[in-house]
Structure 1
Amino acid sequence: MLSHTTQRTQTSPKALNRRRLPGRGPCMGFSLGLLLAACMTMSSTAAAHQPAPHEQPQGRLTVSAHHTLEVAPNMATLSARLWERTPVRAVDSAREASPEALSEARSRLEDRMGELIRTLEATGLPRNAIQAGSLSVQPSYVQGPVYADGQPDRRVRTQLTRPITVTLDDLEALPDLLDALTTASVDSLDGVSYDLKDRTAASDEALGLAIDRAKAKAALMAERLDIRLGRVLQVQETQMPSFQPQMMMRASDASAKEMTSEYRPGQIEIDAEVAVHWAIADE
């Protein structure tokens, strides 16, 4: 009997492998445990982020405000041009302007530019306030006589041009500076533009006044609606402070020398706009 019992209790390794079910190893059990723990964590996190049934979204008040700041300009920029031209020639001519004609025109132009710069410096302008531009060369077409068949005789000449720009910090000296330009016989006076020496300070002032306007509008709306404003949730600059220099004189031919001695720069407008969001405080 003892021998028979021993045979029943002993089992071969192959038999043990047959009894072991597939997918029930220790590694699979560990993975299932991690998966269950992760699911429980995600469920608890989602539940924590869900608002309670009695919670309502916080109210907010949004106000947009715009302000236009008018500032008197305190600087001016003048632009003028000098040019010289070669003799006229036929358009269909294969011959271009001769080197001698170009050299003579450029020599006359450089002499006039030097004289103009010396005249401007004599008015008390510093060197860094005068900017003489580079030379440009381009054809200038001239309307000639009309032939018997009705076709005009087109002619061309070469024009050599140099621009000059003057920056003026003292607006009271503007009439004298314009007189100096016309006395020097500039060929074209392109205009006078007025500007500000410190644009940043003026822009900041315009932005601050726009914010003050938004606060005043929000206070008025809260009073009329019988609500109480909370903290500021968001501030957005919907339009950056911007302005354009004022052009106070149109481009004109200065050869006529008919220029008034009275100049009024007017005001420069700077626009700024903001949007401010306030929370509505609970009572």
Structure 2
Amino acid sequence: MSVTSTDPQLAGPATEEVDGPTTSALGRLLRDPGRAWSYVGIPLIVVGSWFAVYRWVSGLELDSIEQRWLNAERVTRALVEHIQLSLIATLFVVGIAVPLGIMLTRPFARRLTPIFIGIANIGQAIPSVGLLFFLALPALLGIGPRTAIVGIVAYCLLPVLRNTMVGLDQVDNALIEAGRGMGLTTGSVLLRIELPLAVPVILAGIRTALILTVGTMVLATFINAGGLGDIINGGIVNNRTPILLTGAVLTAGLALLIDWLAGIAQELLRPRGL
């Protein structure tokens, strides 16, 4: 609902509008043509590149190997598997890193911060393909989607954990004390003051983790977990450029689309005034 003030004595020469968060976010986009174009241009570029590859492959004389790898059912299945694995891994990352980051910013757990940050750093410092191969050992998790999800979660945990802690730590102590002075409990201060102010930084970390997940999930093919990595690896093993290029363009386009959607969500979920 929009409330418009038209009395010049009350509103001055300008008209003031009070709108919902979605309208406010759309208004920010419209006031920034460069940003608005990026939100329109990215999906057009991705769809255009996918269509160009499709037209190119359709015009080729494909041999039996290429036909087997590039049939619509197989490519669609690989794309759906990649999206599912990436989203599941990201949900686990958020479910682990955000509560852990909140806990580590509380006074009682401050001394544990170096330990958990060190563990998260180890997960990202180890080469992702090596981590997947290690977890795929029969004595541990074995091969399959579960191992891919665990490995990617360990690899992508750090950005969300770090941004959650940074976002909460940068909240002005004066605002926290003001909330306590109004009678808010510790939990209410966290939910009504700290977390809303930390949302932009936390969302940036989630966005980074999401892109890392989509890109790194290509390696899941080496432990029989499926995804678009199957198409890319099929092109490499069989020395077929159309197969390789199709998998690569689909993966790159998917990463750009996910980043585009995450950017829109980040803009819409940002509290007004931040």
Q: Give the TM-score normalised by the residue count of structure 1.
A: 0.23
The structure carrying a bigger helix percent of its residues is: 2
Structure with greater Cα Rg: 1
